[in-house]
Structure 1
Amino acid sequence: MIKHPRVLGTVRLSILKDDTTSPEKQRHAVEHWASGPAVDGRMVGFAEDLDVSGALHPFKRPGLGPWFLERADDWDVLAVWKLDRLSRKAGHFAEVLEWCQKRGKTIVSVTEGIDMGTPMGKMFAQIIAAFAEGELDTIRARALSGSRARKAKGVWIGGVEPFGYRFERQECGGKKLAQDPDYGALFQEIVERLKGDWSSYKIAVDLNKRGVPTWRDHLRIVKGEKPRGIEWTSNAVRVVVMNPTVAGIYTYKGENVVDENGEHVSITDQPLMDYAEWAGLVASLKSDRPVRRATPSRSMLGGVAVCLECGSRMSSNKKTKPDGRVHHYYGCNAVNTGTCDKPGRIRRDDLDQAVGVFVETVLGPLPVMERVGNAISQTKVELAEAEEVLDRLEADYLAGRFKTDVQVERYWGQHEFQSAKVERLRAEIKAAEDAPGWITTGRTNAEEWAAKDDEQKRVFLRRHGITVHVGPTEDGNRRVVVKMPEVAEIPEAVGLHAPEGYRRVEREAEYILPRQRAYKRK
């Protein structure tokens, strides 16, 4: 290993709960190893993948992937808590190891004492990776066998009730999952708010203000135990919504359990949400993930407005004047580092008003639409999953992984089932696209905008792809450039459709805001 290496730590967890401590444990172990006298390394960052399966290729993980594809020159050593945190697939592990060897990089398992920069370390790593893959296959087989028995009996033997469900005793014995009336309704409220431009942070604040217990505290209260008083967080709200169990899908240690046809195994006849609708919602939440910050912004344009000079995001700040008046403004985040030559800075009220005028002028007249029946986007998500299963089956077959007669027979059965499913979903999408699928709500976007608070407006701007750039002019005024994509480029999930014959005069506007509070269109 090279002296004083640049260390990239990686953290992975299959299931993230509100009281999870494993990520902190993994980070601490890696930091302790890197700072030790034997290594004397420098941490360059952590690639975190929470709620991510060990079967997902490291190159495709949202946290770790960019460090391979975009930031490969920024680190020398990839340090993991244990090798299974990197991957549970021997094939994936071998690809990552080969990639690192070609580029002079090293993989280290800090708790297992394996340094793949040595021949002995490479040998041990390959053995452990093979055992990890075998363990994953065993877990899946055991889970599938158990789930078949549960499905046949209609009972639940999986431990603590998933969010929004309660146990119902069966006459024949055992317990069945049914919707919890209170938290089932709470889940529907959370979903409707997320669809209605509420951020997960705002939802968490509201639940805490109302004194709504978290799910684990609710279960303690039901059992007559004292609640721990754990508060809702933005991440806890997202974890609840993005957990497959709310769509009635059985999971085992973060892995979705499938039957012999590759279909998801159900845990209940009364899911909180239809699977196709849930998949569409999760896809929109992943694409709409807000910029991470220590304290979520409560202003309309914090994290949305961008400095025209350096491209850094702008945050809302305040300054108290000697007479006690508070001055609110947006400022370039790079101003403290001195990396921006002309940092953007503008009164908060002025910029909010300018963007509000743009939205009311450009989007205001357009009607808010609602899709009739299931959204096409949800069916497309289901189609993509079916095509992915089919592709994986064919790749495994071509790679010779089905060796016995039984395995080959099962392969053709699954292939036939998934092929028929792909054809059916494609036909459903075509039929839905040929038929009118939207109706007007009778409301305009101007009315919707006026009813939203600052946080909801920020979510609205992000979902519609509206960008705001701020910079100084040569004469000391403030230049504001607001842009948005064409209506056709906005995702259908937003529900924005232009009426026949509608032509927008502009989708880009520039404002010059003088130092006084008035502003004018350039």
Structure 2
Amino acid sequence: MVKHPRVLGTVRLSILKDDTTSPEKQKHAVEHWASGPAVDGRIVGFAEDLDVSGAMHPFKRPGLGPWFSERADDWDVLAVWKLDRLSRKAGHFAEVFEWCQEHGKTIVSVTEGIDMSTPMGKMFAQIIAAFAEGELDTIRARALSGSQARKSKGVWIGGVEPFGYCFERQEGGGKKLAQDPTYAALFQEIVERLKGDWSSYKIAVDLNKRGVPTWRDHLRIVKGEEPRGIAWTTNAVRVVVMNPTVAGIYTYKGENVVDENGEHVRITDQPLMEYGEWSELVASLKADRPVRRATPSRSMLGGVAVCLGCGSRMSSNKKTKPNGRVHHYYACNAVNTGTCPNPGRIRRDDLDQAVSVFVRTTLGPLPVMERAGNAISQTKVELGDAEATLDRLEADYLAGRFKTDVQVERYWGQHEFQSAKVERLRTEIKAAEDTPAWTATGRTYAEEWAGKDDEQKRVFLQRHGITVHVGPTEDGNRRVVVKMPELAEIAEEVGLHLPEGYLWVEPEAEYILPRRMAHEPK
């Protein structure tokens, strides 16, 4: 070891409440060692990582990591209270030790008397690191066993109540989650509105108008605290619906928690929505519906209509005449950049009317069909995750990463479970693919269209893949082409009977609208 070294102290706690290894105790031990006559070192700083697992790589820890990447020239010795404060993973420990050797640094455990600048210290450090990793496996197994035991008794093992749930005290002690009557009903209302072509923005506006508190404010009110008056937003509505907790799935830091078999850990036997139904809804929100804009909708076809000249989207604009009259129109988004050779522009009322005629008359008497493939999509995602887990397990096993008896036992248990899961999901997908991809809603397009406002109509068009293209004709009029490509697919797959006159392969309608010189925005 160098004389009068610059000492970097390292402090780590998995749980801040651990009095036996408190930050102050760890710091005091390092300071006492550094100031001793045998060392006569100088403390240059402490890398503190509180509430950080020993499984996290030291290079990635928020407190310690920068001392390796950004401040490596500021210290000579890395001093820890015990080696497990540096890492509980033998592989991580070996990487840090190798880095220190390459950069002329030394690792010292001040309470275990290990100085890794000596051969004996290196040997003891490797042995202790291996035991620390085995202890981490034991800690994880004990924690999982404890959580499973509490779960089997219906005891809630989380923190704040997730959306739509409240605590129920049990006779034998502890508490479990049950549905909050008010917000469970609110959740069902939100889901039904999303299925009924309400956008997340429109739902948020309605909830704010009705004065419905957000979930956090609701919890504050229940506790007798003053609510903060936080408003609902588009993102807040989507987060509520897409959070796995509403399907009874336990999450931690945004990720689903799985048991030793890789299965989801459940938080309640009374979820707001069954997992299968929730998965189908989330798949539809991700795949079939684009994220709704967070600003108010000013039109029915903004972002839906497309310019025939360049393929850009068209947005709603307005022009105020000198006499004060305001004219609304749709225009190609590329009109201001000069990149469109023939930018489309049309009066908003004219285009809205043309699309409405298409839906009411061309599609009007036909039954509205919903795609039933979202459940298959979700199952395929689960299959991909299960196969990836299986591949990762086998790769780690072949690489010799499972060393302790606990690790090997868990490996075989997970491998057996994931293998069975892969086979089950493959069977489910095969069975689902053999069933019809479309289901009838029991309503016609005309009936659906009649009860919607502009916001809902735009969502409806996007959901059913109805396209609207606009461009000028040679004589200066406006050409509008409205299509519904998926109708031909529906008719072919389910044997949908099309009334006489529906002879096209791809249903479409073309309208030539006159240019209104007196009202055309300039």
Corresponding residue of 1:199: 199
Looking at structure 2, the residues matched to 142 and 510 of structure 1 have their Cα atoms a distance apart, in angstroms, of: 68
Alignment of 1:108-507 (within 5 A): 112=66, 144=144, 147-290=147-290, 295-369=295-369, 377-378=374-375, 380-399=377-396, 400=399, 401-431=401-431, 440-487=440-487, 499-500=496-497, 505=504, 506-507=506-507
Task: Report how far residue 381 of structure 1 moved.
Answer: 1.5
In structure 2, C-alpha distance between the alignment counterparts of 1:317 and 1:130, rounded to whole Å: 59
The amino acid that maps onto 2:368 is V
User: Take 1:114 and 1:407, find their aligned partners in 2: how far apart are those partners?
Assistant: 30
Aligned counterparts of 1:251 and 1:146: Cα–Cα separation in 2? 17
- Structure 1 residue 234: Cα displacement: 0.5
Shift in Å, 1:232: 0.6
Please give the secondary structure, in 2, of the residue aligned with 1:315.
strand
Runs (5+) with no aligned partner, structure 1:
1-87, 94-108, 121-126, 518-522
Secondary structure of 2:334's match? helix
The answer to whether the Cα contact below 8 Å between 2:247 and 2:274 also exists between their aligned partners in 1 is: yes
Amino acid at match of 1:365: P
Residues 1:195 and 1:247: Cα distance change in structure 2 (over 3 Å)? same
Residues 379 and 425 in structure 1, CA contact (< 8 A), matched pair in contact too:
no
Hey, what's the Cα distance between the residues in 2 that align with 1:470 and 1:462? 17
The letter of the residue matching 2:388 is D
**d(CA) in 1 for partners of 2:478, 2:67:** 57
Report the alpha carbon displacement of residue 196 of structure 1 after superposing the two structures with TM. 1.1
The number of aligned residues is 396
TM-score norm. by structure 2 comes to 0.66
Deviations 1:283-321 (A, max 9, x none): 111124536756342311011112222322211122233
Asked if the contact 1:383/1:422 (under 8 Å) is kept, the reply is no
Change (3 A) 1:141 1:205: farther
Which consecutive residues of structure 2, in runs of 5 or more, have no partner in the other structure? 1-54, 74-85, 94-131, 518-522
Deviation of 1:233 after TM superposition, in Å, equals 0.5
Moved more, 428-437 or 172-181: 428-437
What code does the residue aligned with 1:459 have?
V
Residues 1:441 and 1:467: Cα distance change in structure 2 (over 3 Å):
closer
Tell me if the contact between 1:291 and 1:303 (Cα under 8 Å) persists in the aligned partners.
Answer: no
CA distance in 2: counterparts of 1:342 and 1:412, whole angstroms:
65
| C-alpha spacing 1:294/1:207, structure 2 compared with 1 (3 Å) | closer
Check conservation: 1:247, 1:278, Cα contact below 8 A: yes
SS at match of 2:375: helix
More moved, 425-434 vs 163-172:
425-434
SS in 2 for 1:322: coil
Counterpart contact for 1:332–1:345, Cα < 8 Å: yes
- Mean CA deviation greater in 431-440 or 396-405: 431-440
Aligned letter for 1:456?
Answer: Q
Deviations 1:410-443, CA, capped at 9 Å, x for gaps: 3333233233334334444555565679775542
The answer on whether the counterparts of 2:484 and 2:508 sit within 8 Å (CA) in structure 1 is yes
Q: Which amino acid aligns with 1:164?
A: G
How far the C-alpha of 1:218 sits from its partner, in A, is: 0.9
Amino acid in structure 2 at the alignment position of 1:166: C
- The whole-number CA distance in structure 1 between the counterparts of 2:323 and 2:150 is 70
Report the Cα distance in structure 2 between the residues aligned to 1:457 and 1:140, rounded to whole angstroms: 52
> Alignment partner of 1:309: what SS?
coil
